[in-house]
């Protein structure tokens, strides 16, 4: 599996619009054949800090995602909303070891 963890800091005046745009992107991403999970998380101590947790079957799933119209719509819509550029870190999972185990709980 291929995992991307993306930190996003949003300007306070754009918080609600950012959430709406991100949820729309997440819902559409979950329909992609290689997407296994897409979480949109908001900081408790800082409501303008968000974390996107994305899991794909493999790295091509992430590549495919970046070529979708919903991702490009989101990227363009939220660009000016960010207090600083988003920071993404790519990972591979060590546990659970299989896609089936990941999806079972």
Q: Provide the pLDDT for residue 36.
A: 93
Contacts of 40 (CB under 8 A, 6+ apart): 19, 22, 23, 26, 50, 52
Domain 2-104, what architecture? 2-Layer Sandwich (3.30)
7-55 confidence digits (pLDDT tens): 999 999 999 999 999 999 999 999 999 999 999 999 999 999 999 999 9
Ranges of each domain in the chain: 2-104
Q: Is the pLDDT of residue 86 over 90?
A: yes
Q: Is this model's pTM higher than 0.85 or not?
A: yes
Of residues 98 and 46, the one with the higher pLDDT is 46
Q: Which two tokens stand for residue 18?
A: 């950012």
Give 104's pLDDT tier (boundaries 50, 70, 90): low
């Amino acid at each position: 599996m291929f995992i991307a963890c993306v930190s996003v800091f949003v300007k306070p005046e754009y918080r609600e619009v950012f959430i709406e745009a991100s949820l729309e992107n997440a819902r559409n991403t979950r329909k992609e054949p290689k997407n296994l999970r897409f979480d949109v998380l908001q900081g408790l101590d800082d409501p303008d800090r968000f974390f996107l947790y994305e899991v794909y079957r493999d790295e091509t799933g992430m590549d495919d995602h970046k070529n979708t119209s919903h991702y490009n719509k989101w990227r363009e819509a939220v660009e000016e909303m960010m207090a600083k550029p988003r920071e993404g870190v790519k990972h591979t999972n060590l546990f659970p070891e299989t896609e089936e185990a990941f999806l079972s709980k």
